[in-house]
Amino acid sequence: MKEAMTSVDIRYIVKELRELVGARVDKVYHEGNEIRIKFHKAGEGRKDLIIEAGKRIHLTTYIKEIPTPTSFAMLLRKHLGGAFLSGIEQHDFDRIVKLSFRDYTLVVELFGKGNLVLVGPDGLIIAALRYEEFRDRAIKPKVEYKFPPSRESPLEVSWERFRELVASDDSEIVRVLARKFSIGGLYAEEILLRAGIEKGRKARELTEDELRKIFETMKGLFSAPKRPSIVYKDGQMVDVVPIELKWYDGYERKYFETFSEALDEYFGKLTVEKAKAEKTRKLEEKRKALEISLERIREQMMAFEEEAKKNQELGDLIYANYSLVERLLEELRAAVKKLGWEELERRVEEGKKTGNKAAEVIKGIHPSENAVTVEIDGKAIKLYLNRSLGENAELYYERAKRAKAKLEGARKAYEETKIKIEELERLIEEEGKKVGVKKLERRKKKWFEKFRWFISSEGFLVIGGKDATTNEMVVKRHMEENDIYCHADVYGAPHVVIKDGRKAGERTIFEACQFAVSMSRAWGQGLYSADAYWVYPEQVSKKSPAGEYLPKGAFMVYGKRNWFHGIPLKLAVGVVKYEGDELVMCGPVDAVKAHTNRYVVIRPGDLKKSELVKRIKKILEGWGYKVPEEDLMAILPPGGGEIVEVVG
């Protein structure tokens, strides 16, 4: 089972993670070898990047609860908090990833024990997960960060250099590829499988054509299209890979849209299982001890049952052969009185040698116990000469009784132990549910959720920009000739578009204009009303008057504007059903009211936005809706507010 990402894995994941560029660091969490960076990406919301030193880096939905930040987490928050990710790249073809921020670089080492190193703008180390010294470099504060010596990259190596490195080596070709190009055994075997070369052949014995075939196959493999999957064998995960591998032909596979999703599913499940094991370790040890005890009790029960049965049968045997046993007791008593134990034993042994049937009945003589073991009906039974027939029988019945009593005690102990095991299993299951790792279940967001949006009371979709980038997208990418464009008479207000708006009534157009003023800076300024207008798409242009420049997100509006004056800044928040999903929506009160009978009415106020979010979240939870705070933060207008009314 894979425990750490390879250089090939890192090559593919870094390509995906470049979509994070431009995201802002919200929080940093640290526990053990793991760092989780909670990013916020404009238009997309929360993104959690998990980094486990020496093992992995990818986006995750498995969130570990870490109540108290460590000193390392606090240091990273101090330097990276609020910073924007400006770049992410793999160093050469090594298991090293560099996350670049404005003034800092976070170097992620995914080889060996691994490390995370924060490097300042001067190239000096500010802090690291662990401080170490090597022959050629040191990880210490105020020391220049140096990368470890690199090996040949299979992506950049030339044919001449490849031949030079491989052709003269006396090792097996699979080992040469894995060692000299840092690709690991799996990919070395995959290359040779695709090239049709036996992996055990010596590298120096390969022909020029065979070497060329391996070289071209290697280049092609690492340029293969991405097709992430988790590989299973007998229902158990064995690997997670970014591309299709012939090596795993015949294995069960589960495919994913992104490599991050595959890695998250793979390592996330391992993390949960590890956390569960740690959480329930002591309980599991108790259960194991009880299971051993249960098996021992079961064996005792079998022994007691056998003992009771045996003694009961021997007691019954005495009475079933009453005359024979009575005669044997009388004859044996007389023989002992006349001959003594030693002479009796000698005569019995001689009789057995001559085939004397009376002697053959005697199986053992026990002078110290004043007893003789005889065979009756094929069973050996010890008879005590100083006891009567009834006393001998009663002796066996008493033994059977004691064995039965012990058996009942053992059965009771067995049932009690089973109950204890069942109780422990229940506790283990409950503790497992309490494990400090939870999976954020995120539905796939609809295309319009990257913008501000609402569904009008007449059922029309209305979208608006959040910033310069999304404002540009709303107009240039999503506004079509059948739409309506709305804008507040406030500097920096969002561009708002009613999709298919030419079919909309005045009610929808008014709601869109109210949305435009409420989502503008007027809200943060505490205004209670503002003006807005609407026009047709052909009146909106990026073409500026001569000598003027329009910045990103700005447009010119030409021709007649249709005004609404004194529009109140008031919105509502509720959960609505749309296109098969339940979505939390913030829009004009009439619009929200048309789609749900439970909603919270808000207007500009002195309550901080973060506190307003918490209060709305609590109200929604009371109605049975679990809405993440970041989702509410994304849909509410900029600035503080207050709750005017709670309906429902």
Domains and CATH numbers, the chain: 7-139 (2.30.310.10), 300-404 (no CATH), 447-647 (no CATH)
Q: Averaged over 185-211, what is the pLDDT?
A: 94
Residue with tokens 């509006």: 557
Between 424 and 312, residue with greater pLDDT? 312
Mean pLDDT, residues 248-269: 93
Quick: pLDDT tens for 362-391.
999 999 999 999 999 999 999 999 999 999
| 3-state secondary structure at position 588 | coil
Q: Of residues 435 and 125, which shows the higher confidence score? A: 125
Q: Is the pLDDT of residue 103 over 80?
A: yes
Q: What is the pLDDT of residue 358?
A: 82
Residue 438 — pLDDT band, cuts 50, 70, 90? low
Q: Determine the pLDDT at residue 198.
A: 95
Kindly state the tokens that stand for 372: 């003789």
pLDDT (0 to 100) of residue 128: 97
Tokens for 505?
Answer: 């009534």
CB 348 within 8 A of CB 359: yes
Q: Is the pLDDT of residue 252 over 90?
A: yes
Torsion, Cα of 166, 167, 171, 173 (10° steps)? 60
Which runs of consecutive H residues, i.e. helices, occur in 70-114? Answer: 71-80
Note whether 431 and 280 are within 8 A (CB).
yes
High-pLDDT (> 70) share of the chain, %: 96
Q: Which residues does 545 contact at the CB level (< 8 Å), separation at least 6?
A: 556
Say what the pLDDT of residue 119 is: 97
Helix (H, G, I), strand (E, B) or coil at 431: helix
Q: Scanning the structure block, which residue is given the tokens 């960076």?
A: 37
**Mean residue pLDDT across the chain:** 92
What pLDDT does 437 receive?
A: 52
DSSP states of 487-534: EESSTTPPPEEETTGGG--HHHHHHHHHHHHHTSHHHHTT-SEEEEEE
Position 278 confidence tier, pLDDT thresholds 50, 70, 90: low
Residue 434 above 70 pLDDT? no
